């Protein structure tokens, strides 16, 4: 018999929540994908890699982790829930409903809770959207990436170019008010027209939120190997900046404004769960490889689904490691995350040396003062990471 793997024990007394205004979220990581996209380095597994996936066993293990987590934290009510992955829609509507039931049972949900699931268009249907809407999901995030067949092929996406738009319309018909579409720009072989047609398709689908991310070639991925072997060119930084400006201009002209460097929404449609991350909120991450933050500790689960299941079967939190954040760590993260948001960073957050460096960025046209807050300019958004590094010295 294989011995149960060892988990890392967390400190006995977690810090108390600051108060009822402190947002608390639950993130659920679904580790299953039908195929692996060439650019993806997320903690996901195909059925072949697992020797056959067992979603029901995963849901049962998840329920036990949520029970253990609620006992540790004292069961704070969830203001937001986000089911990500992986491909949550592969679970089907009934299992996703059960996932939410387990969160509701062990943590409880705020009356106005935002409940999101990611979905890949090819694994959805009108019946799928109707079932998860009836279960209590309020938001869907669809992975479009592009409408260009050549771009989809380079990214190893298996849905047809028109399927994301059809899926968005099905979700809208099922009663979803809030819909997001993900785009990726800068794929080798992509043209300006490819990106603009993708942005236009998202808008025509009637979504109220778009996330657009530059393609990152992650070490260890199939895409990285193709670039290394010269099969594909590496993404070009100047092209990336130009494409960002293209999508920003198109979305803003259609009434969507940026609220975070990579996210645009119509008024009232910003993703509250992600705002919790960026604003220093606390959350429990459940599932293989998921990360959690309780205000002082950041911890992460073991990655492999089988190891994860073994640990929770022994009534052990499946924690692989943790770190205690210092005041300096929290300050760094506060600057890094808040500066990426449209509301900007309170000037009072910075120490005198950082304020001097901020003044230089203002002079350089990368930041502007909006009352007592520092906000990225349009040019500054293109260089957001560099602006953060400059501020922190």
**What residue segments make up the domains of the chain, in order of their start?**
24-279, 326-392
Supply φ then ψ for residue 181, to 5 degrees.
-120, 135
The CATH number fitting domain 326-392, selected from 1.10.10.920, 1.10.357.10, 1.10.8.50, 3.40.190.10: 1.10.10.920
* Fold adopted by 24-279: TIM Barrel (3.20.20)
Q: In what order do the strands lie in the sheet with 345-346?
A: 345-346, 373-376, 367-370
Q: How far does CA 260 lie from the centroid of its chain?
A: 13
- Rounded distance, CA 277 to CA 264, Å? 17
Report whether 198 contacts 183 (CB < 8 A).
yes
Q: How far does CA 90 lie from the centroid of its chain?
A: 18
CA angle 214, 388, 262 (to 5 degrees): 30
Six token digits for residue 169: 């319309």
Does the fold of domain 326-392 match that of domain 24-279? no
Q: Among 180, 190, 178, 116, which Cα is nearest to 147's? A: 190
- How confident is the prediction along the chain (393 residues), in pLDDT tens digits per residue? 455 678 898 987 655 554 556 789 999 999 988 777 777 777 888 777 777 668 899 999 999 999 999 999 987 899 999 999 889 999 999 999 999 999 999 999 999 999 999 999 999 999 999 999 999 999 999 999 999 999 989 888 877 888 999 999 999 999 999 999 999 999 999 999 999 999 999 999 999 999 999 998 888 888 889 988 999 889 899 999 999 999 999 999 999 999 999 999 999 999 999 999 999 899 999 999 999 998 889 999 999 999 999 999 999 999 999 999 999 999 999 999 999 999 999 999 999 999 999 999 999 999 999 999 999 999 999 999 999 999 999
């Amino acid at each position: 018999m294989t011995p149960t793997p060892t988990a890392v024990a967390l400190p006995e007394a977690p810090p108390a929540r600051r108060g009822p205004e402190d947002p608390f979220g639950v993130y659920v990581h679904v580790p299953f994908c039908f195929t692996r996209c060439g650019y993806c380095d997320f903690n996901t597994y195909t059925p072949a890699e697992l020797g056959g996936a067992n979603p029901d066993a995963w849901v049962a293990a998840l329920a036990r982790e949520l029970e253990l987590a609620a006992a540790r934290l004292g069961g704070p009510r969830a203001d937001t829930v986000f089911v990500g992955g992986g491909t949550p829609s592969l679970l089907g509507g009934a299992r996703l409903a059960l996932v939410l039931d387990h969160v509701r049972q062990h943590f409880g949900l705020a009356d106005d809770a935002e409940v999101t699931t990611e979905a890949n268009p090819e694994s959805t249907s009108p019946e799928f959207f109707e079932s998860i809407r009836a279960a209590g999901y309020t938001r869907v995030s669809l992975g479009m990436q592009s409408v260009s067949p050549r771009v989809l092929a380079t990214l190893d996406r298996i849905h047809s170019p028109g399927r994301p738009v059809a899926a968005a319309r099905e979700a809208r018909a099922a009663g979803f008010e809030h819909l997001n579409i993900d785009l990726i720009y800068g794929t080798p072989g992509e043209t300006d027209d490819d990106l603009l047609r993708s942005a236009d398709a998202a808008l025509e689908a009637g979504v109220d939120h778009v996330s657009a991310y530059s393609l990152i070639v992650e070490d260890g991925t199939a895409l990285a190997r193709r670039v290394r072997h010269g099969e594909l060119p590496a993404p070009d930084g100047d092209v990336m900046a130009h494409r960002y400006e293209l999508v920003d201009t198109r979305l803003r002209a259609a009434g969507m404004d940026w609220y975070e460097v990579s996210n645009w929404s119509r008024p009232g449609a910003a993703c509250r769960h992600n705002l919790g991350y960026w604003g220093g909120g606390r959350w429990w991450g459940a599932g293989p490889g998921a990360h959690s933050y309780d205000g002082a500790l950041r911890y992460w689960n073991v990655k492999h689904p089988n190891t994860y299941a073994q640990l929770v079967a022994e009534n052990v939190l499946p924690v692989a490691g943790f770190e205690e954040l210092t005041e300096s760590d929290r300050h760094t993260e506060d600057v890094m995350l808040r500066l990426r948001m449209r509301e900007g960073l309170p000037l009072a957050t910075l120490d005198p040396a950082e304020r001097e460096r901020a003044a230089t960025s203002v002079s350089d046209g990368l930041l502007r003062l909006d009352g007592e807050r520092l906000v990225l300019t349009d040019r500054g958004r293109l260089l957001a990471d560099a602006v953060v590094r400059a501020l922190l010295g």
